[in-house]
Amino acid sequence: MTEPIRLLLADDHPVVRAGLRAVLETEPDLVVVAEAATAEEAVDRAQRGDVDVVLLDLRFGKGMTGAEATAAITARPDAPRVLIVTTYDTDADTLPAIEAGATGYLLKDAPPEDLAAAVRTAAAGRTTLAPTVADRLLNRLRHPTTALTRRETEVLTLVAQGLSNQAVGTRLHLTEGTVKSHLARIYAKLGADSRTAAVATATDLGLIRRRPRRR
């Protein structure tokens, strides 16, 4: 009999962790060995050598992000695989996580059977991507002229939050002139002639997150 796949669930919402555990533990070849409420806890727990796959959210309340945790986990020898399980599917979310070493990327609304299959695929070292994420990555390859670099995505995300060029530069440790250069390239790629138009286009294309409405 083969050994079960050992899982670490990392999410800052207890209800989400409980839901993942309930789904995964119905599978005879999967076992949840630990949970973590923060990215830092996930990094620490993943180092013990008794986890095969870490199911990791992207955004935690404070501290390290899921992408940062992914990089820290996968940088170690004999590291477990990281499967991102989140609600976010924009380029601003997916690209940093995949670049950090995530083996798979799944959305939380995936059917239970897809989740279990993605875990097994990740444990085998193969990639599973949510359909929307896979489509967006393919679109980047087919239309590279409209794809934003990671830095351009960071700049436009902060612009979408209402920050000035100077404030964006301060946040990203760039000169104001460099920020303007990034924006010029962003305008050219998106066919936009203003900050507002660039933000609207990038949001519609799923390149940056849609800002939540204030209640």
Tell me the C-alpha distance between 149 and 202, whole Å: 12
Asked whether the predicted pLDDT for residue 70 surpasses 60, the reply is yes
Each residue's pLDDT tens digit, 31-66 = 999 999 999 999 999 999 999 999 999 989 888 999
55 and 94 both lie in a single domain? yes
Across the chain, what does the average pLDDT equal? 89
Query: What pLDDT shows up at residue 206?
Result: 80
Tell me the C-alpha distance between 166 and 98, whole Å: 30
Tell me the C-alpha distance between 67 and 105, whole Å: 11
148 and 120 both lie in a single domain? no
Angle between helices 176-190 and 165-172 (to 10 degrees): 110
pLDDT grade for 214, boundaries at 50, 70 and 90:
very low
> How many other CB atoms sit within 10 Å of the CB of residue 144?
9
Report which of residues 166 and 62 the model is more confident about: 166
Domain-located, residue 197: yes
Rg of the chain on CA atoms, in Å: 19
150 and 122 both lie in a single domain? no
Tell me the C-alpha distance between 30 and 13, whole Å: 21
Which one, of 85, 132, 90, lies nearest residue 106 by Cα?
Answer: 85
Each residue's pLDDT tens digit, 121-136 = 999 999 999 888 887 7
80 and 95 both lie in a single domain? yes
DSSP string, 9-77: EE-S-HHHHHHHHHHHTTSTTEEEEEEESSHHHHHHHHTTS--SEEEE-S--SSSS-HHHHHHHHHTST
Contact 198, 77 (CB under 8 A): no
Asked whether the predicted pLDDT for residue 1 surpasses 60, the reply is no
198 and 98 both lie in a single domain? no
pLDDT grade for 92, boundaries at 50, 70 and 90:
confident
85 and 171 both lie in a single domain? no
**In this predicted structure, which of 54-58, 73-77, 94-98, 123-127 has the lowest mean pLDDT?**
94-98
Q: Is the pTM of this model over 0.85?
A: no
57 and 133 both lie in a single domain? yes
Q: Which domain holds residue 157?
A: 144-204
Domain-located, residue 214: no
Q: How far is CA 83 from the centre of its chain?
A: 10
Mean pLDDT score, 171-191: 91
Per DSSP, the three-state class of 123 is: helix
Domain-located, residue 210: no
